[in-house]
Every structure is written in C-alpha cells, then in structure tokens.
Amino acid sequence: MKWIAGCLMLVGLAALDPPYDPARELAAIAKTGPQGEGSAAAKVARDELAKHGVEVLPQLLVAMDTSNAVAANWYRTVYEEIVARELARDGTKWPVEFFKEYVSDAKRVGRPRRLVLGLLDKLEPAFRASWLPTRLDDAEFRYEAVGLALTAGDRALKDNNQPAAKAEFRKAFEAARDSTQVTQAAAKLKSLSESADVAQHLGLITEWWLVGPFDAPQKTGFAKVFAPEGKVDLQAKYLGQGGVEQAWKRHHETDTLGQLDLNKQLGTTREAVGYAYAEIDVPHEQAAQVRCGADDNCSVWLNGEKVFGRDQWLNGTRFDRFITPIQLKAGRNALLVKICQGPQHKDPEVSNNWSVQLRLCDDQGRGIEFNSINPER
Amino acid sequence: MNCKKGIVKEMMPRWISRIRGSELLLVLFLLPHVRCNAENWPGWRGPNRNGVTSDTGVPTTWSATENVLWKMPLPGIGTSNPVVWGDKVFVTASEGRDQGELHVICFDRDTGRELWHQRLWGTAPTLFYGRSGMASPSPVTDGKRLFAFFGTGDVFCFDLDGGLLWQRAIADEYGPFENRFAAASSPLLFEDKLIVQCDHYGASYVIALDQLTGANRWKSDRPEVWLSWSSPQLVTNGDRIELVLSGSEKLDGYDPRTGSPLWTLRGLARECVPTPVFGHGMLFVVSGPNGTHFAIKPGGSGDITDSHIVWKNDKGTSFVPSAILVGERYYLADDKGIGSCLDAHTGKLIWKKRFGDKFTASPVAADGKLFFINEAGSTLVLDATQAGYEEVARNDIGEEVYASPAISQGKLFVRTSKNLVCVGSK
C-alpha cells in the first residue's frame, strides 16, 4: 500500500509541475552579439528550447521580434526545428489565432512575421489571399499588396471596368514606396487620363540651380572647397574649368525619377566639380531622410551644415543608394549638393557618367510634403 | 574499400584503438596496397584552392541522364561551389525579394537525400547579381565544422550535423557591404582561423575569425581598396606563408597570422574576380577583361611591381573565371568562351581555341583531365596530358551552369541553375 501511496504522490506532484517557462533560455540567446559573444550559452539554450513543442512558439516569436540579427537566427533555428517536427505529425494544436495576431502586427519586425505567414499558408491555406490585399500600409508586406492591387487593376481593365481599374491603380500608387511600383502605377493611371505625380510622391528634387564645372584634377574634387560651399550667391560669377566664367542657371529636371545628367546641363567634362542648389518650403519642422546617389560622388549640405559626403569614385547613380537622416525646419530649407566627376576610366568603353539624384522622404520612403522655392537671383 | 583521406585521418585514433597485434600488422601490410584516390573538396576550388584534385575515376562523358547518379532541386539562387567532405555535400543558396533568406543544405553524397537544411536571415542584403544572390561565396570545412559566408555580411559556423555553433553579423559590426553584385569572396581556413576578404565600396577590410568562437583574431583595414569579388589565397614562400588578396588594381600580400601587410604588386584590373593560383614557386594572377596575366614570385616587401614579375601577358584575360595550373601549363577560359593555354614558365601562348558559349564557372581538373563548364551547361573535357589541344568529350547536362563544379571520390558535383547534380559512373 505504501508504494501505491508513493506513486500517487509522485503523480500528484508531477501534475502540479508548472508548465515549462522558456524565459531563461530565451534570455540566454538574447545575450548573443558581436564577436560571437554568447554562442556557447546560446547553443545550450537553443537545444533545450528545441526539445519543446508548439507551446513555446508564442514566446519564441515575441523574442524573435528583435533587432539583434544574431539572436534572431538562433531563435529561428529553434522555430524551424519545432515547426518541422510538429508539421510532420498529426494532432498538433497550433496557436493559429496568436499567429494571425502576430503576422498582422505591423509594429513587429517583419522577418518573423513573414515566417509565420509561411506557416499559416500550411495551416490555413485561404488566409493569405484574404489578408494580404489589406496590407497596403504595412512596410513588410506593402510590396506584395501593391502588386495585388496592380494585378486587380489590370484585371478590371480586361473586364472593361475602368472605374474599378482606376480605383485599384490609385490605391496601388498611393501605397507604393518602391520606385518601380510607383512608376508602374503612375503610368497605368496616366494611361487612363488620371494624374499621378511621381516626383511629388517620392519627394524628388527637380527644381535646381546649377553651376560648374570647376577644375578638380584627378580625384581632388571631393576635398577641394569651391566658393559655393562658403556661401551660395546666385548672382555670383566664378572662374570655372579652363578659365571659363561660370554663373548659376536654373534647371527643371524632367526625368521620371529625377536623375539629373550634369554632362547635359553643365557640359561633358572630366576631373571637375559641379554644384546643384535647391530651396524648399516645408509646412512644419520634421524628421526626414535625404536619399541620394551620384556618379562619381556627392556631398550634401542642408541649411549650411554638411549632412552627407562619401569619397567614392565611378560608382553609378543608383536610386536611394545613400540614406541619411536629417531634421528639416519649418519654412525655408536650403540644399546644396556637390557632384564630383573623376578622370576617364582607363578603359575608354567605360561611360563618363556625371549625374545625381536626390529626394526627401520619410523613413518608409514616402516623399515629404514640400514646395520648391525659386529664389530670386 | 572506400578510402577517403579526410575520413581516414579523422577516424584513425578510434580505428587503431580497436585493433591489436597481428591485426595491426595485417592492416599495416594492407595500407600501402589500398588505392587511395578519394579526396574531399572542402571549399572554393577544392583541396588546394586551385581547382585541381588528385581524385580519380571521374567520368568523362555524361548527359542530362547518362552517368547522373542523382539530382536534387535547390532553393533560390547561388553560384557557390558545392563542398564535399566524406559522405556529405554542402551547398549554400539565397532567395527572397532582397535575397536575405539564406540556406545552408547538406546532402548525402551517395543518394542525394537531404540530411539537414538550415534557413537563416541575412543581416544586410545588398544589390545582387540575378544568378548568384547572396550565395556567391563557397562555404569551407575542415571536416569538423562548416563555415558559410554570405553577401549579406554574415558568417555562420555549423557542426557537420547542421547545428549552429556561432554567427558573426559583420555587416552589423563594421557596416553594411556596399556592393553592386553582392560579396562573392570565398573564405579560407588557415591554422585556427577563418579568413574573410571584405572588399566593397565602403570601409574594406580582411578579417581573421577564430574558428572555435568566431571572435576576431585580427582585422586589417584596406582603406585604399573598393569593390572586388576575388577570394583570398595562401602561398608558401620558403618558411613564410603569405595571404594574397587581389582587388583595386593591385595584389596584396599579408602575414596570415597577424594580418600585417607584406607587399603589393600593382597593375591588376580595377575590379578583380578570379582567385590567384600557386605553383612552381610562382603565383599566377589574372584580372580583366582587357587586363593582364601575371606570374610573379611571392615574397619581398613593399612595392614588388618592378622586382617580382616573372612574366606577363595581356591576351585573353577573364573577368569572372579563375585560371587553372596543371603540370607545366596554365589554362583559362575567358567570359566570352575563348580558351587559352600558356606555358606556365614563360607565359608563351601554346594554343587558343573558341570553346563556345560564355563562361562564369572556373575550370577544375582531375586524373589528367580538364573540365570547363560553360553557362549553357556544356562541359568541355580536355586531356591535360597531351602537349597540344586534345578534346576528350563535350557533355551537356541540360541546364544552365554558373557555379564551379566540385570533384570528390570519383564524382563530379555540378550546381546548375536549378539542381545539384551528382555525376559518376553507374
């Protein structure tokens, strides 16, 4: 009888055992970081976590919402192992409602949300089709949602339903942040006689004052200071490359994505520097980003303060290549951009591009609201 | 007996502990008689990082079906070469809109069965080439651990059963790579270090990581360099071992134990892709297109441009494929499909042929044969034992190929644009 009582006691104690709390293991992994730090402890914690089932997935996914790239991957190895194991067997009670809530929380880091969406595809195959089109304001899934809107618009056009097509294309245009999607949506709207201002949508600077070229032998242009860097005086005249007098001239850029070709505007040259100047009026003080690219390179001053410069050569002007946070004040803001042109590459077939592209936007890539000012000389 | 050098070495203590006396004598008697022709392919360009293996028995003819032992689909894209150690084959890949979804996959060498598959996130995806994504660098293994570097600026270390041992997000630590086609340099193992060349538009450097922990052993900044996709090489120069990096119009020698710069040779292309090869006491370097082949004596200090060049030749340089040295001859297929063979000692052209189609993959060699795989998936097999151009076969695998192949244990492992294909005698 004693042994029966003992067994019952053990069973009772086991029943009282609290459920597994993964907090300690999750915290150990959170400590991983630079230099491989914390790896040994993370490995032990990972192995322990992976022994458990779907009950740890909610806490695991919350932990995966981290900017620590190393920890995120350690967590992911656990997630992948548990999910693969549980998918291979019947009867698992997946926390599907938690997954839906998690994947829909746009404030969370995007990558684990995308993982969960992939799992929902297996658990509830119809979910994606109804959910994804609603994600137009979701940074992680916006691209796909915009793509669906564009497709829906095309379908409506095929069905000769122009109002529906316009509505879908408008929805796509307003939500799009990817430059290719923005231009695609704009082109579709324009084909239906609808307006769509790509430059405004992306915050592209297209109204410029330009001056140059100034002489900058070899690759001295980046460091060499020319008069406009001291003070922008649109009335001034300067001694430019080859002793030619240079003055500021106005330019309106018509390229769809605001790419300004200095070879066309200032003349084809080498080993030179050109300047582009713009003034804008913004309705209120705000944090923003200046996104730019240039060939060969550019430096940017905002209201007299240098906010960006990268001493690189022969790189190509690529959309949003460099992203720098800035603070715009309410009212007038002045932007000065210096664009360098280096020596011709030793291979004469390498093009002699001299160009710049610059925009002002929020951290999601939507152009900020501003008016270009055309300052008087 | 299936004799695998790497496996034999790894298993030796346990193996010997199980046999005694007369059994040991018998084993010692038999050992020299075992035809040990099987090598691993542990990283970029094989056991000696030059495309050449002592392996034998690789078929010289195959097709999309003939002599194909198995074929397994691969996720995403990538041009890293397969890595083979013992009975395991490792491949990396990337996928996703930004190619930030990384894969490290292990297959069974004999059956192609997937043994394990790690899916990971890349820290900082860059612009990329549509065929390679973030998976241009080949992984490397010492038979105990597998090290995988990706264009996202991440280095992962696994045990051979797929367990993650450590990760370095070096793009987080030292800044994202700025790269038009994503980083492509394949790391190498030296003593207890993993050496990674990180040349890009931003702050470039070469870094040595502790193989056990991932921590820095040294980091040497390369402030004067920009973008390159070349892989580091090790050369032996007397008692001195030198780490050689090409990129930014020059070739640099470093001390691989400390990262201290040793010498520089000028005259390479602005952007370098091929990996130098070493033989006959010389280092053979090519960069192009429209560049120069150099054969140089390693060693020296400072600028060795005027003192260490044995020969140079401006004809037929490649942008992407590396060259190969077999015996006294130096072979190359350029990107446009022109093959050439030079005398390794003089740089004199021995023959030049139009191989056909374009080349991205670097050639490999085994058993006196050279294998050049073009982008269309056709492999030109040449007899390297003949003085002149001697074509053995042309084999079409039926799929595009951009990755360099691997040879191990009598099999050729070809990574096509879709599959990993194991070619071997049935």
Query: Which residues of A are less than 8 Å from B290 in CB distance?
Result: 347
Asked if A357 contacts A257 with a C-beta cutoff of 8 angstroms, the reply is yes
Q: How far is B298 from chain A (nearest CA, A)?
A: 27
Whether residue B209 and residue A36 make contact (CB cut-off 8 A), yes or no, is yes
The pTM (predicted TM-score) of the whole model is 0.90
**Given this model, what pLDDT does residue A363 score?**
95
User: Is B164 in Cβ contact with A43 (below 8 Å)?
Assistant: yes
The region of weakest confidence among A45-49, A202-206, B8-12, B339-343 is B8-12
pLDDT digits (tens, 9 = 90+) for B9-22: 333 333 333 444 44
Nearest to B95 by CA among B69, B123, B119, B72: B119
Check pLDDT > 80 for residue A243.
Answer: yes
Does the structure show a pLDDT above 50 at B35? no
- Taking the Cβ of residue A72 and every Cβ of chain B, the question of whether any pair is shorter than 8 Å is answered with yes
Measure Cα distances from A213 to A227, A341, B87 in Å.
12, 9, 64
Residues in CB range of A68: below 8 A, 6 or more apart: A30, A32, A33
Checking if the pLDDT of B178 tops 50, the result is yes
- The one-letter amino acid code at B71 reads K
Q: What is the mean pLDDT of residues B183-203?
A: 96
Domains of chain B: 1-36 (no CATH), 37-423 (2.130.10.10)
Q: Tell whether the model's pLDDT for residue B28 goes beyond 70.
A: no
Does A111 lie at the interface with B, CB-CB under 8 angstroms? yes
Instruction: State ipTM.
Output: 0.90
| pLDDT value of residue B8 | 34
Give the Cα separation of B299 and A32 in Å (integer): 41
Nearest to B201 among A34, A37, A315 (CB): A315
What is the rounded average pLDDT of the residues A191-207?
97
Helix (H) or strand (E) holding B258: none
**Tokens representing A203?**
């915050």
Q: CA-to-CA distance for A314 and A351, rounded, in angstroms?
A: 9
- A173's enclosing H/E stretch is helix A162-175
In this prediction, residue B202 carries a pLDDT of: 87
**Partner-chain contact B121 A73, CB within 8 Å:** yes
pLDDT at A97: 98
- Please list every residue in chain B whose beta carbon sits closer than 8 Å to the beta carbon of residue A46: 164
Rounded distance between C-alpha atoms, residue A276 and residue A260, angstroms = 10
> Tell me: the pLDDT tens digits for A301-323?
999 999 999 888 766 778 999 99
Residues B220-235: tens digit of each pLDDT: 999 989 889 999 999 9
* A interface test, pick of B95, B97, B119 with most A CB neighbours within 10 Å: B119
Rounded-to-integer distance, Cα A68 and Cα A34, Å: 10
| A76 vs B: CB within 8 A | yes
What is the residue type of B129?
Answer: Y
B245-289 pLDDT tens trace: 999 899 999 999 999 999 999 999 888 999 999 999 999 999 988
Nearest CB neighbour to A36, from listed B172, B214, B226: B214
Band of pLDDT at residue B4, cut at 50, 70 and 90? very low
| Burial call B271-280: b when 16+ CB within 10 Å, e when fewer | bbbbbbbbbe
In tens, the pLDDT along A69-117 reads 999 999 999 999 999 999 999 999 999 999 999 999 999 999 999 999 9
Q: What is the pLDDT of residues A324-335, one digit of tens each?
A: 999 999 999 999
Question: To the nearest whole number, what is the mean pLDDT of chain B?
Answer: 90
**Distance to chain A for B91, nearest Cα, Å:** 18
Q: Cα–chain-centroid distance for residue B81?
A: 7
Please, which pLDDT band fits residue B426 given cuts at 50, 70 and 90? confident
**B121/A69 CB distance under 8 A:** yes
Distance from the B12 Cα atom to the nearest Cα atom in chain A, whole angstroms? 28
Q: Which residues contact B419 (CB under 8 A, 6 or more apart)?
A: B71, B72, B73, B74, B399
Domain ranges of chain A: 15-134, 142-196, 202-373
Report the sign of the C-alpha dihedral through residues B275, B276, B278, B279, in that order. Answer: positive
Residue whose entry in the numeric block shows the structure tokens 């406009």: A228
Asked if A110 has any chain B CB less than 8 Å from its own CB, the reply is no
The alpha carbon of residue B217 is apart from the nearest alpha carbon of chain A, in Å, by 10
Greater model confidence, B4 or A95: A95
Q: How far is A296 from chain B (nearest CA, A)?
A: 12
Tell me, yes or no, if A312 comes closer than 8 A to chain B by beta carbon.
yes
Nearest CB to B165 within list A39, A111, A318: A39
3-class SS of residue A213: strand
> Does position A352 have pLDDT exceeding 90, yes or no?
no
What SS3 class is residue A132? helix
Query: What local confidence, expressed as pLDDT, does residue B299 receive?
Result: 85
Q: What percent of chain A has pLDDT over 90?
A: 86
Average confidence (pLDDT) over B53-64: 96
CB atoms B226 and A312 under 8 Å? yes
Tens-place pLDDT, residues B85-105? 999 999 999 999 999 999 999
Distance from C-alpha of B391 to C-alpha of B370, rounded to nearest angstrom? 10
Query: What's the whole-number mean pLDDT along residues B371-386?
Result: 97
| Alpha carbon of A34: minimum distance to chain B alpha carbons (Å) | 7
Q: Whose CA is closest to A20, among A54, A70, A44?
A: A54
Q: What is the DSSP string of A14-69?
A: HHHPPPP-THHHHHHHHT--GGGTTHHHHHHHHHHHTTS-GGGHHHHHHHHS-S-H
- B167, B180, B210 member nearest A70 (Cβ): B167
Give yes or no for residue B3 having a pLDDT over 50.
no
* Burial of residue B426, with CB atoms counted within 10 A of its CB: 0-12 exposed, 13-18 middle, 19 or more buried: exposed
Structure tokens at B409: 């244990």
Pairing of strands B369-373, B364-366: antiparallel
Contact check, Cβ <8 Å, B215/A36:
yes
Closest CA to A199 of A275, A276, A254, A260: A254
In whole angstroms, give the CA distance from residue B155 to residue A73. Answer: 12
| Max CA distance (Å), chain A | 111
Return the pLDDT at B21: 44
- The answer to whether residue A197 scores a pLDDT higher than 50 is yes
B120 — contact with chain A (CB < 8 Å)? yes
Token pair of A318 as six digits = 């690529």
Q: What pLDDT does A345 receive?
A: 72
Is A69 an 8 Å CB contact of chain B? yes
pLDDT of residue B224: 87
Helix, strand, coil % in chain A, rounded to nearest 5: 40, 20, 35
Asked if A46 has any chain B CB less than 8 Å from its own CB, the reply is: yes
- Kindly state whether B348 is in contact with chain A, defined as any CB-CB distance less than 8 angstroms: no
Q: In whole angstroms, what is the distance from residue A161 CA to residue A150 CA?
A: 14
CA distances from B292 to A244, B204, B228, B280, B371 (A): 40, 24, 16, 20, 23
A125 touching chain B per CB within 8 A: no
CA-CA distance, B201 to B178, in Å (whole number)? 5
- Angle (CA) B183-B226-A318 rounded to 5° is 75
Q: Is A8 helix (H, G, I), strand (E, B) or coil?
A: helix
Q: What angle do CA A227, A233, A235 make, to 5 degrees?
A: 115
What residue in A sits closest to B179 (Cα-Cα)?
A315
Residue B128 burial class via C-beta count within 10 angstroms: exposed 0-12, middle 13-18, buried 19 and up: buried
Q: Indicate the CATH number of A202-373 among 2.60.120, 1.10.3470, 2.60.40, 2.30.30.
A: 2.60.120
pLDDT of the residue at A1:
53
Q: Does B266 touch chain A (CB under 8 A)?
A: no
Q: What is the pLDDT of residues A125-169, one digit of tens each?
A: 999 999 999 999 999 999 999 999 999 999 999 999 999 999 999
Whether B278 and B233 have beta carbons less than 8 Å apart is answered as yes
Residues of A in contact with B169 (CB under 8 A): 34, 69-70
pLDDT for A254 beyond 90: yes
| Average pLDDT rounded to a whole number, residues B155-177 | 97
**How far apart (Å, rounded) are the C-alpha atoms in residues A311 and A224?**
12
Token pair of B244, please? 């050689």
Mean pLDDT score, A9-36: 83
Confidence check: pLDDT of B181 > 80: yes
**Mean pLDDT over each residue of chain A, to the nearest integer:** 93
Nearest residue on chain A to B159, judged by CA atoms? A43
